[in-house]
């Protein structure tokens, strides 16, 4: 199978972020390297791109896909960016992209357990070399903790009903597959409309397991450790909780006087892009620049 992920707002991000010829750029969520290819393709632009990803398989695919010696790829969380810059003997970068969430490649690979549409092990870890997976969570947490996770990270109104159904089902037999969890949810929340009733629960488990919101909260706070004056950070968000965190964090930075919002109004993909790539429909881009 050849894996795909179409980079979102790639042209606009490249224009706004890659501004210093020969500069040092960080692709904090390298994925399959789609945005990095644009960065390295801009004539006279990026000197090097430091690509980070928690997913070791994605890194291998990105290296093959980008096939450019100017990409330095590391299996690491983006929260490790200050250490990685220091290890490379670099003081600061001229730009950083955070393209948050998961890639189409991860969703499409049944073995990774992110999708309720395909039978697979209930995993959902970006870094599947360590930590608890989704099966560990749904088979062990008490009902009230499961309910909190589904409510907080999925904004799912039926969280109480779903968590009780999970606890009842796991007494009969452990829930170890994506399709079993989806059918447990469907039994208490029958389908109505286009969206599958398991959508928000799967999103909640993924965000919780990967500590996504905690990392999103920490990212704007580390910008002063990784960006040079004049350097820019671009954040591409895909759901309201993520976007709220970034929107207010960037406003706070701008209020400090040391940063400037590059786009006052959030940038969203045009309908042509959404038509060609439905995953782009919820994307929101915010960019900030370091002044001092």
Ligand X SMILES: C[S@@+](CC[C@H](N)C(=O)[O-])C[C@H]1O[C@@H](n2cnc3c(N)ncnc32)[C@H](O)[C@@H]1O
**Min. distance of Cβ 177 from ligand X in angstroms?**
22
Told to check if 99 binds ligand X by CB under 6 A, we report yes
Instruction: Tell which one of 14, 77, 115, 203 touches ligand X (CB under 6 A).
Output: 77
β-bridge mates for residue 15, sequence order: none
Instruction: Tell which one of 13, 20, 50, 103 touches ligand X (CB under 6 A).
Output: 103
Angle between helices 240-255 and 212-221 (to 10 degrees): 10
User: Of 118, 111, 107, 106, which is closest to residue 180 (Cα–Cα)?
Assistant: 118
Told to check if 269 binds ligand X by CB under 6 A, we report no
Binding piece for ligand X, criterion CB under 6 A, among 53-61, 110-118, 159-167, 172-180: 53-61
User: Hey, what long-range contacts does 103-112 have (CB within 8 A, 24 or more apart)?
Assistant: 103/5, 103/31, 103/32, 103/58, 104/4, 104/5, 104/6, 104/279, 105/3, 105/4, 105/5, 105/31, 105/32, 105/58, 105/61, 106/55, 106/58, 108/3, 108/4, 109/3, 110/178
Told to check if 7 binds ligand X by CB under 6 A, we report yes
Instruction: Give the binding-site size for ligand X (rule: CB under 6 A).
Output: 21
Choose between 58 and 158: whose C-beta lies nearer to ligand X: 58
- Which residue matches tokens 């990392």? 215
Told to check if 54 binds ligand X by CB under 6 A, we report yes
Instruction: Tell which one of 39, 48, 53, 227 touches ligand X (CB under 6 A).
Output: 53
Told to check if 237 binds ligand X by CB under 6 A, we report no
List the interface residues with ligand X, window 19-48 (CB under 6 A).
29, 31-35
Told to check if 102 binds ligand X by CB under 6 A, we report yes
Told to check if 289 binds ligand X by CB under 6 A, we report no
Told to check if 283 binds ligand X by CB under 6 A, we report no
β-bridge mates for residue 25, sequence order: 49, 95
Residue 175 tokens, joined: 């829930």
User: Of 244, 237, 285, which is closest to residue 262 (Cα–Cα)?
Assistant: 285
SS3 content of the chain, % helix, strand, coil (to 5): 50, 15, 35
Choose between 99 and 147: whose C-beta lies nearer to ligand X: 99
Choose between 167 and 208: whose C-beta lies nearer to ligand X: 208
Site string for ligand X, 122-151 (x = CB under 6 A): ----x-------------------------
Residue 123 tokens, joined: 């995993």
Told to check if 114 binds ligand X by CB under 6 A, we report no
Which is it for strands 24-27 and 93-99: parallel, antiparallel or unpaired? parallel
Choose between 32 and 175: whose C-beta lies nearer to ligand X: 32
Binding piece for ligand X, criterion CB under 6 A, among 51-59, 82-90, 143-151, 246-254: 51-59
Told to check if 163 binds ligand X by CB under 6 A, we report no
Told to check if 220 binds ligand X by CB under 6 A, we report no
Choose between 65 and 201: whose C-beta lies nearer to ligand X: 65
Q: Could you give the 3-state DSSP secondary structure of residue 266?
A: coil
CB 29 within 8 A of CB 78: yes
- Which residue matches tokens 């795909």? 4
CB 127 within 8 A of CB 177: no
Choose between 102 and 175: whose C-beta lies nearer to ligand X: 102
């Amino acid at each position: 199978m050849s894996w795909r992920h179409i980079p979102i707002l790639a042209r606009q991000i490249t224009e706004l972020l890659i501004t210093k010829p020969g500069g040092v750029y960080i692709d904090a969520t390298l994925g399959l390297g789609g945005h990095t290819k644009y960065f390295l393709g801009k004539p006279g632009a990026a000197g090097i791109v430091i690509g980070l990803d928690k997913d070791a398989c994605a890194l291998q695919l990105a290296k093959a896909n980008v096939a450019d010696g100017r990409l330095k790829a590391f299996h690491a969380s983006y929260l490790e960016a200050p250490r990685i810059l220091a290890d490379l003997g670099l003081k600061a970068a001229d730009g950083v992209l955070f393209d948050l969430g998961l890639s189409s490649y991860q969703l499409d690979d049944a073995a990774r357990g992110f999708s309720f549409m395909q039978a697979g092990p209930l995993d959902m870890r970006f870094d599947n070399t360590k930590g608890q997976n989704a099966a560990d969570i749904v088979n062990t947490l008490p009902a009230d903790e499961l309910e909190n996770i589904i409510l907080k990270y999925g904004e799912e109104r039926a969280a109480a009903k779903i968590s009780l159904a999970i606890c009842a089902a796991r007494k009969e037999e452990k829930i170890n597959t994506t399709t079993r969890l989806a059918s447990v949810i469907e039994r208490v929340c029958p389908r109505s409309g286009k969206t599958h009733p398991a959508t928000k629960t799967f999103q909640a488990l993924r965000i919780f397991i990967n500590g996504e919101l905690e990392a999103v909260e920490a990212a704007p706070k580390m910008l002063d450790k990784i960006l040079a004056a004049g350097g820019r950070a671009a954040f591409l968000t895909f759901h309201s909780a993520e976007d709220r965190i970034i929107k207010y964090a960037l406003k706070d930075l701008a209020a400090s006087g040391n940063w400037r919002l590059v786009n006052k109004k959030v940038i969203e993909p045009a309908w042509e892009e959404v038509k060609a790539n439905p995953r782009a429909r919820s994307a929101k881009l915010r960019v900030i620049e370091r002044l001092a």
